[in-house]
C-alpha cells in the first residue's frame, strides 16, 4: 500500500469491550460470502452470537460519526488468528466478489518478504468506487482517494501475484485482489500504524500472520472500512482493529465512491496506540476532533520518527 513515510498520524483506538467465540481461522477465500464469514468483528453495544457472517454484517451497518476515533478495537483488540497456522511465506488472496470488490487477504510473512523499491511501476487497476477526483478542502486542491493495498506493497516481496514464494518477485503493487478505494487519511496515516507493527516485527526476524478484510455495506462500491488483524508467532504483535475509511474535510457516497468537501467531517486527532505488546502506550495525546489543518499540525508534531521509536 502506498504510504507516506515522512509523517504518520497515530491512529485513535477505542475498545468495544466485547469478546467473540467460534471465530474461524480459515485463510483461503473463494468468493464474497466466504470472505465475509472469515471476519469476526464485534460491534458497540451489541451482543453477538459468534456467527462470523452475522458479526461482519453488524460491522458493515455501523456508520462513522464525525469527530469519532479513526479506528476501533475488535475483540478487545486481540487477534483471532492462530500462530500455529504459520507454515511458510505465502499470501492467500481472496477472490473478487460478484461486483469485482476485494474480499479478504491473509499473509504469512517473514523477513524475506520485506522490500523497498527505488521506483514503482504505474498502477493501472481501478478498484470499485475509484474516481481520483480532486476536491477543494480548506482552499487546497486535494485528491482524497488512494488505490489502497489491503496488504502493504513493501510487505509482499518475493511473492508471486498468486501469493506463492518466489525469490526476486516485486511486491503486490497492481494486484486487483489487493487494491480497494481507500481514503488518503485511512491509507497514509491510520493504517500505517498497524502496518508498522508488522514491519517492525519482520525486521526483528519474527514471523507474522497478517489479515485484512474490506468491509462493504450491501452493494456499495467503496468500503466503509478495513478490518485488520495480525499475530506474530511469538505473540509480541497481537492486534485486531477496524479502520474507518474516512477523510477529514470530505464526505463520501459509499455507493458510488464519489466525495465532496464537508467542513463538518472531522476525525479524532493523534492518540496513543496500545493494541500490541510491540507498542508503547505511555504517552497520551489529544482526543479532540480536528480539522484537516489541525491534523497536519499533529502529524508534524507526532511524526514518523516518534512513532517508529515507540513501535520498537
Q: What is the DSSP letter of 83?
A: G
Q: Where are the domains of the chain?
A: 64-311
pLDDT band at residue 294 under the 50/70/90 scheme: very low
pLDDT of residue 67: 87
Rounded mean pLDDT of 259-285? 53
- What average pLDDT is seen over the chain? 74
pLDDT of residue 278: 31
Residue 101 has pLDDT above 90, yes or no: yes
Residue-wise pLDDT for 188-218, tens only, equals 889 988 999 999 999 999 999 999 999 999 9
Rounded mean pLDDT of 246-270? 88
pLDDT of residue 194: 92
Rounded mean pLDDT of 143-169? 94
Residue-wise pLDDT for 45-97, tens only, equals 333 333 477 778 888 999 999 988 899 888 888 999 999 999 999 999 999 99
- Give the separation between CA 27 and CA 56, rounded to whole angstroms: 16
pLDDT above 70 covers what percent of the chain?
Answer: 68
- Give the separation between CA 212 and CA 206, rounded to whole angstroms: 19
pLDDT of residue 269: 53
Rounded mean pLDDT of 107-112? 97
Rounded mean pLDDT of 261-280? 55
Residue 287 has pLDDT above 70, yes or no: no
pLDDT above 90 covers what percent of the chain?
Answer: 50
pLDDT of residue 81: 93
Rounded mean pLDDT of 253-276? 73
- Give the separation between CA 183 and CA 199, rounded to whole angstroms: 22
Instruction: Please determine, looking at this structure, whether the domain spanning 64-311 carries the CATH number 3.40.570.10.
Output: yes
Higher pLDDT, 108 or 43: 108
Higher pLDDT, 101 or 295: 101
pLDDT band at residue 137 under the 50/70/90 scheme: confident
- Give the separation between CA 127 and CA 148, rounded to whole angstroms: 9
Q: Which of 177, 181, 147, 146 is nearest to 159 (CA)?
A: 177
pLDDT of residue 51: 46
Collect all residues with Cβ–Cβ distance below 8 Å to 139 and sequence separation of at least 6.
Answer: none
pLDDT of residue 222: 98
Helix, strand, coil share of the chain (percent; to 5): 20, 20, 55
Beta carbons of 145 and 181 less than 8 angstroms apart: yes
- Give the separation between CA 172 and CA 91, rounded to whole angstroms: 10
pLDDT of residue 286: 33
pLDDT of residue 56: 80
Amino acid at each position: 500500500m502506498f504510504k507516506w513515510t515522512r509523517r504518520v498520524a497515530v491512529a485513535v483506538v477505542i475498545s468495544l469491550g466485547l469478546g467473540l467465540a467460534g471465530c474461524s481461522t480459515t485463510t483461503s477465500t473463494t468468493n464474497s460470502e466466504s470472505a465475509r464469514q472469515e471476519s469476526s468483528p464485534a460491534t458497540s453495544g451489541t451482543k453477538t452470537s459468534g456467527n462470523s457472517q452475522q458479526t461482519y454484517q453488524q460491522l458493515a451497518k455501523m456508520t462513522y460519526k464525525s469527530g469519532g476515533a479513526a479506528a476501533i478495537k475488535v475483540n478487545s483488540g486481540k487477534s483471532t488468528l492462530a500462530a500455529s497456522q504459520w507454515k511458510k511465506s505465502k499470501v492467500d488472496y481472496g477472490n473478487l466478489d460478484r461486483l469485482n470488490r476485494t474480499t479478504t487477504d491473509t499473509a504469512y510473512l517473514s523477513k524475506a518478504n520485506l522490500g523497498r523499491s527505488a521506483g514503482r511501476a504505474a498502477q493501472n487497476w481501478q478498484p470499485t468506487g475509484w474516481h481520483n477526483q480532486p476536491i477543494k478542502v480548506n482552499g487546497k486542491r486535494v485528491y482524497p482517494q488512494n488505490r489502497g493495498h489491503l496488504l502493504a506493497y513493501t510487505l509482499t516481496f518475493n511473492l508471486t501475484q498468486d501469493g506463492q514464494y518466489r525469490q526476486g518477485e516485486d511486491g503486490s503493487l497492481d494486484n486487483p485482489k489487493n487494491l480497494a478505494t481507500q481514503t488518503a487519511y485511512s491509507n497514509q496515516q491510520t493504517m500505517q500504524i498497524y502496518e508498522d507493527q508488522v514491519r517492525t516485527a519482520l525486521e526483528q526476524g519474527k514471523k507474522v500472520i497478517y489479515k485484512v478484510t474490506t468491509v462493504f455495506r450491501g452493494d456499495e462500491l467503496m468500503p466503509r472500512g478495513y478490518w485488520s488483524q495480525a499475530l506474530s508467532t511469538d505473540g509480541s504483535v497481537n492486534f485486531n482493529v477496524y479502520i474507518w475509511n474516512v477523510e477529514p474535510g470530505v464526505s463520501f457516497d459509499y455507493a458510488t465512491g464519489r466525495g465532496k468537501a464537508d467542513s463538518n467531517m472531522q476525525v479524532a486527532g493523534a492518540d496513543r496506540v496500545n493494541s500490541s505488546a510491540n507498542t508503547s502506550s505511555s504517552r497520551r495525546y489529544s482526543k479532540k476532533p480536528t480539522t484537516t489543518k489541525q491534523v497536519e499540525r499533529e502529524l508534524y508534531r507526532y511524526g514518523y520518527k516518534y512513532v517508529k521509536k515507540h513501535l520498537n
